[in-house]
Amino acid sequence: MFLDRIVASVDARVEALRDEWARLEEKAQNMPPTRSLADALRADPGTLQVIAECKQRSPSKGWLTDHYDPVAQAQGYQRAGAAAISVLTEPEFFAGDLAHLRAVREAVSIPVLRKDFIRHPVQIAEARAAGADAVLLIIRILEPDQYRALYDYATRLGLDVLVEIHSPVEAEVALTAHPAIIGVNNRDLDSFETRLSFSQEMALALGPDIIKVSESGIHQVEDLRQVRDWGYQAVLVGEALMRGRPLLEEWRANG
């Protein structure tokens, strides 16, 4: 499966980073306070917020732009009303880099999420030391105990966590850590198929108290209206924005 290839590549990088853990943890513990992703997503109840993503390529869609300037991209997102920025840092399949996150965090005043495939606490310490305000934990690539340990570790370092699910069973595991924010990925990470109605099905399983984020395959204002009507507080949008679609502006004007 494709996701296994990503995970194998991540694990190899983690292996090389393990010796840095103590140093990164100390740096992480001395960073200034984070900006709360949860607060940003519930700042204006009833308004669907947008987490706008910076990524140059993706496995399913290939290169999204020839000219990738994550700082200019993120500043544009903030000006257009994004509540938070997601920055891909995975290098092999998404052409990401932790340096992109560092630069974006300095250039905007809203929370910044490290979008990567986190498997080990050293990546969380690394994220916090680089300035991230939040990290993504993908239930599908973690054992339940591993997930809870990573969730606790991120929280102890002052990070918010976006917990990503793609099935009712994964939702059950996700809920065991009592997360504030859950992302429902409309994309199957093996087949790459996206289905927005998956967000509708999962909304009921998650209940009203959790901040719900619908992720992937969101391209038009009508998609945003739908997920808002299904009880979501936020969406995470990458491809449409990276291809230059003025979705944030359209949403502000017609939401």
Q: Give the footprint of ligand LARABZUK on this chain (CB under 6 A).
A: 53, 55, 58-60, 185, 187, 189, 192, 215-218, 236-240
Tokens of 234: 């936020």
CB of 247 to ligand LARABZUK, least distance (A): 10
Catalytic, 185? Answer yes
What residue type is 218 in one-letter code? I
Nearer to ligand LARABZUK, 8 or 30 (CB): 8
Tokens of 198: 């998956």
Please pick, among 115, 199, 214, 239, the residue that the annotation labels catalytic.
115
CB of 194 to ligand LARABZUK, least distance (A): 6
Catalytic, 186? Answer no
Partners of 137 in the β-ladder: 163
Partners of 57 in the β-ladder: 63
Please pick, among 25, 55, 58, 86, the residue that the annotation labels catalytic.
55
The total of other beta-carbon atoms located within 10 Å of residue 190's CB is 12
Query: Do residues 202 and 232 make contact, with C-beta atoms less than 8 angstroms apart?
Result: no
CB of 225 to ligand LARABZUK, least distance (A): 16
The total of other beta-carbon atoms located within 10 Å of residue 29's CB is 13
> Cα separations (Å) of 45 from 119, 163, 184, 203, 231?
33, 21, 19, 17, 11
The total of other beta-carbon atoms located within 10 Å of residue 246's CB is 13
Catalytic, 55? Answer yes
3-state secondary structure of 209: coil
- Rounded CA separation 38/239 (Å): 23
Cβ-closest position to ligand LARABZUK: 238
CB of 208 to ligand LARABZUK, least distance (A): 23
Please pick, among 25, 90, 126, 164, the residue that the annotation labels catalytic.
164
Helix (H) / strand (E) containing 52? strand 49-54
Dihedral pair phi/psi, residue 127, rounded to 5°: -65, -50
Catalytic, 215? Answer yes
CB of 221 to ligand LARABZUK, least distance (A): 14
Catalytic, 216? Answer yes
The total of other beta-carbon atoms located within 10 Å of residue 101's CB is 28
Q: Which residues are catalytic?
A: 53, 55, 115, 164, 185, 215-216
